[in-house]
A and B are shown apart, each in its own frame.
Chain A
Amino acid sequence: EDKVVQSPLSLVVHEGDTVTLNCSYEVTNFRSLLWYKQEKKAPTFLFMLTSSGIEKKSGRLSSILDKKELFSILNITATQTGDSAIYLCAVAPNAGNNRKLIWGLGTSLAVNP
């Protein structure tokens, strides 16, 4: 059965810390992996990764994929209180016409001032 596992489930840090969030997966015919940020509203898209070893970066956030070891990490440097959110990882299996994503449970990040 396809599955996505995120760790840790929750994390509390202080402003300025660097955090690394993990996402491991087992899916049939992997196509892509996506990261989303969810505050008290709808998830917003952060990154989509398809190739191993190529870092995607947006400001203080970056992400990389390892297709051999079947995981991705999301790094946030110099964290701010506005980074407090649930970070969701999802994987798209290559399943023909079915574009359904397989979702992890998320990592709840709290950044304290």
Chain B
Amino acid sequence: NAGVMQNPRHLVRRRGQEARLRCSPMKGHSHVYWYRQLPEEGLKFMVYLQKENIIDESGMPKERFSAEFPKEGPSILRIQQVVRGDSAAYFCASSPRPNPSTDTQYFGPGTRLTVL
């Protein structure tokens, strides 16, 4: 049973380019969460999605960042016109359908974005 998958694992972009990060949740999981982690800092929540719905995007920067989780295919975190400050590790986590026992989120290996 494959875990959460993210690709690419490493992504290098020049300033002004677009970055697309992909996340495939665990089989049977319909909830996806994106986090950003800067070196030596904690996890910062960005956005929480269910299939075709954004539930909470309170952690997303207002500009340049967007996320989707289509009915078919992986969740995508898109960063337009990247800047050096976007360099970070971006983690995706997934969880199954809501249930009191399933607050547990399972993390993917992360995508390390470097902006030159």
Contacts and interface: CB of A to CB of B under 8 A. Distances in A.
Contacts of B52: none
Interface string A90-113: 001000011111011110000000
B67 to A, nearest CB: 14
**What is the size category of the interface that chain B forms with chain A?**
20 to 34
Contacts of B43: 43, 88, 103
B33 A100 contact: yes
B110 interface: yes
B109 interface: yes
Interface of B: 31, 33, 41-43, 45, 48, 55-56, 58, 91, 95, 98, 100-101, 103-110
A100 B98 CA distance: 11
A42 B91 contact: yes
B110 A32 contact: no
A52 B107 CA distance: 26
B104 A45 contact: yes
Contact of A32 (B33, B103, B109): B103
A105 B42 contact: yes
Contact of A100 (B41, B48, B109): B48
A48 B102 CA distance: 9
Contacts of B56: 98, 100
A101 B105 contact: yes
B110 A99 contact: no
A50 interface: yes
A92 B103 contact: yes
Interface in A61-106: 88, 92, 97-101, 103-106
Contact of A43 (B31, B45, B55, B91): B91
Nearest to B101: A48
A48 B98 CA distance: 15
B103 A31 contact: yes
A104 B100 CA distance: 21
B42 A88 contact: yes
Contacts of A106: 42
